[in-house]
Amino acid sequence: MHRRVHRGVHRWPGAAHDRGVRSVDVALVGAGGAGLAVLHQLARAAPAGRRLRVALVDPLDRLAERPADRTWCSWDDAASPAARELAPAVHRSWRAVSVVDPGGVEHVLDLGRLRYAMVRSEDWYGLVADAVAAAARRRALDVVRVPAPAGAVVDAQARAVVSTAVGAVAASWVLDSRPAPPARAGATALLQHFRGVRVRTGAPALDPQRAVLMDLAVAQPRVGLAFGYCLPSDERTALVEHTEFSPAVLDDAGYEAALGALLPRALGGAPVEAVEHVEQGAIPMTDAAFARRAGRRVLRIGTGGGAVRPSTGYAFSALQRSARAVAAQVLAGRPVLPPRPYPRRHAWMDALVLRALADGSLDGPSFFPRLFTRNPPERVLRFLDGTTGPAAELALMATAPRGPMLRALARDAAWRVTMGR
Ligand SMILES: Cc1cc2nc3c(=O)[nH]c(=O)nc-3n(C[C@H](O)[C@H](O)[C@H](O)COP(=O)(O)OP(=O)(O)OC[C@H]3O[C@@H](n4cnc5c(N)ncnc54)[C@H](O)[C@@H]3O)c2cc1C
């Protein structure tokens, strides 16, 4: 017997005699953002009666616990099927966002057909859990949870085997989203690092329509850039974050000082009545290359599979795109290979920007306002999401500061010759 832990998911092993090898169609090694996005798409798309066997190998059970461990923000086409699919988990969304330049001038950016959406992790885990429960009811999925860290993953001709302390899982396909080093080092490694607080003010002080994507009129680091981020839920509640694109994280005092300076700006001077939640992270921004394939039947997804956009630190949209593609491959019985998260030429353009930011030749704080105000914001955001074509990219390049970008291009070319790439 396998103990049921929440609707549609069984825990394995259920008893000591149960230990051994469990066979499944798909093993999701790591059930965080990337792994659960794949589970969500499988749950949505698997036909009734299919009984696709899926193992979730992760010591954490986010489907049952639904922790508030991330606030995922991203932009998407407001009228797209993807946006409709996400709708139950969207806490707030905006059709315009503000960017405040280093001189303190606020630019309100109309996002055109896009929207900027805020998804709280607890709501998204709930959305996935509901889809899994519905899939279990129509016997589309048979999900088992293996509550242990995965050890070695051994790839073979027809199956790959994932070892854990509670038994092994043999799967036709292993989708591994554990943290993984890049397959090939890059020239630049920065971090998008931040600390944010969900705060409540004593009196109504916020305009819920005013989402500040980047407030660059804040103290800047020696290398890279820093900005404030403020997403209001209502007139009294907002997520306020201090974010940097820079080489190293701050210490506790550094984040506290930065937030201490930012909060009065973000809240219009209103005193904080309560801090409801604190969120912190450090996301790689690098031109290093991440592998999508770790073996014949073992594929990498998520951050370890290169899903983080190097020039922004965003990954949520790429995770959803990859999950849709992978689920379609699995259900069609085709060989599984996650799509390239971003086009190669975007990776190269990001490499130039990162290089110029890291060596200080590009003035980080003015770069993003410049891009956003000299282009339709929709073009910039679609590029940063990896979905533009060459014409839009040429137009974008024409608005980037020429000197720093040409110097970065020359240094990048020399580096590639030296490295034989
Ligand atoms: C606080 C925070 C906020 C973010 N906000 C945004 C945002 O607003 N927009 C955006 O686009 N991106 C955002 N990101 C970036 C990115 O979307 C997330 O990091 C996302 O969760 C990445 O998904 P993932 O599956 O690669 O990693 P994770 O979600 O971290 O999942 C990895 C999973 O692997 C498991 N694991 C680790 N080791 C093992 C092991 N040995 N065996 C089995 N399982 C293991 C972990 O328990 C975890 O569940 C944010 C990241 C953080 C940290």
- pLDDT by residue (tens digit) across 85-135? 999 999 999 999 999 999 999 999 999 999 999 999 999 999 999 999 999
Task: Give 1's pLDDT tier (boundaries 50, 70, 90).
Answer: very low
Residue 114 within a domain: no
Residues 59 and 199 in one domain: no
Angstrom distances, CA of residue 55 to CA of 80, 286, 419:
30, 31, 41
Residues 148 and 130 in one domain: yes
Domain tally, the chain? 3
Residue 108 within a domain: no
Mean pLDDT of 10-30: 78
CATH number, residue 214: 3.30.70
Residues 138 and 44 in one domain: yes
Residue 356 within a domain: yes
Query: How much of the chain exceeds pLDDT 70, in percent?
Result: 97
Residue 105 within a domain: no
Residues 176 and 205 in one domain: no
Q: Is the pLDDT of residue 20 over 90?
A: no
Q: Give residue 179 CA to ligand 1 midpoint distance, Å.
A: 8
- Among 245, 252, 275, which residue's Cα sits nearest to residue 195? 252
pLDDT in tens, 56-78: 999 999 999 999 999 999 999 99
Mean pLDDT of 331-340: 97
For the chain, first and last CA: distance in Å? 54
Residues 161 and 266 in one domain: no
Mean pLDDT of 408-416: 93
Mean pLDDT of 29-42: 98
Residue 269 within a domain: yes
CA 347 to chain centre: 16
Residue 223's φ and ψ, nearest 5 degrees, are: -120, 135
Task: Give 52's pLDDT tier (boundaries 50, 70, 90).
Answer: very high
* Cα 365 to Cα 225: distance, rounded to the nearest angstrom: 5
Question: Kind of pairing, strands 71-77 and 114-120?
Answer: antiparallel
Residues 170 and 209 in one domain: no
Q: Which residues lie with the beta carbon below 6 Å from any ligand 1 atom?
A: 29-35, 57-58, 60, 70-74, 149-150, 177-178, 279, 281, 283, 302-303, 314-316, 319
* Cα 231 to Cα 241: distance, rounded to the nearest angstrom: 9
CA-proximal residue: ligand 1, atom 30 (nearest): 32
CATH number, residue 155: 3.50.50.60
Task: Give 11's pLDDT tier (boundaries 50, 70, 90).
Answer: confident
pLDDT in tens, 337-392: 999 999 999 999 999 999 999 999 999 999 999 999 999 999 999 999 999 999 99
Residues 303 and 382 in one domain: no
pLDDT in tens, 186-234: 999 999 999 999 999 999 999 999 999 999 999 999 999 999 999 999 9
- Residue 369, pLDDT score: 97
More confident residue, 10 or 244: 244
Q: Is the pLDDT of residue 17 over 80?
A: no
Q: Give residue 147 CA to ligand 1 midpoint distance, Å.
A: 17
What rounded mean pLDDT belongs to the chain?
95
Residue 77 within a domain: no
Residue 110 within a domain: no
Q: In 3-state terms, what secondary structure has residue 93?
A: strand
Task: Give 4's pLDDT tier (boundaries 50, 70, 90).
Answer: low
- Residue 5, pLDDT score: 61
* Cα 416 to Cα 352: distance, rounded to the nearest angstrom: 12
Q: Give residue 32 CA to ligand 1 midpoint distance, Å.
A: 5
Q: Domain range spanning residue 274?
A: 189-285
CA-proximal residue: ligand 1, atom 37 (nearest): 178
Residue 134's φ and ψ, nearest 5 degrees, are: -65, -40
pLDDT in tens, 135-163: 999 999 999 999 999 999 999 889 999 99
Residue 101 within a domain: no
Q: Is the pLDDT of residue 247 over 90?
A: yes
Mean pLDDT of 182-189: 95
- Residue 3, pLDDT score: 56
Q: Is the pLDDT of residue 8 over 60?
A: yes
Q: Give residue 383 CA to ligand 1 midpoint distance, Å.
A: 23
Task: Give the mutation target among 62, 86, 177 for probing the ligand 1 site: most ligand atoms within 8 A of CB.
Answer: 177
Residues 205 and 273 in one domain: yes
Both structure tokens of 274: 């309560």
Please calculate the CA angle 150-42-319 and round it to the nearest 5 degrees. 70
Residues 236 and 383 in one domain: no
Task: Give the mutation target among 192, 303, 342 for probing the ligand 1 site: most ligand atoms within 8 A of CB.
Answer: 303
pLDDT in tens, 284-310: 999 999 999 999 999 999 999 999 999
Both structure tokens of 152: 């070695």
Q: Give residue 33 CA to ligand 1 midpoint distance, Å.
A: 5
Question: Kind of pairing, strands 189-201 and 272-286?
Answer: antiparallel
Residues 176 and 246 in one domain: no
Task: Give the mutation target among 57, 72, 123, 278 for probing the ligand 1 site: most ligand atoms within 8 A of CB.
Answer: 72
Residues 275 and 349 in one domain: no
Domain termination residue (choose one: 252, 285, 318): 285
Residues 359 and 410 in one domain: yes
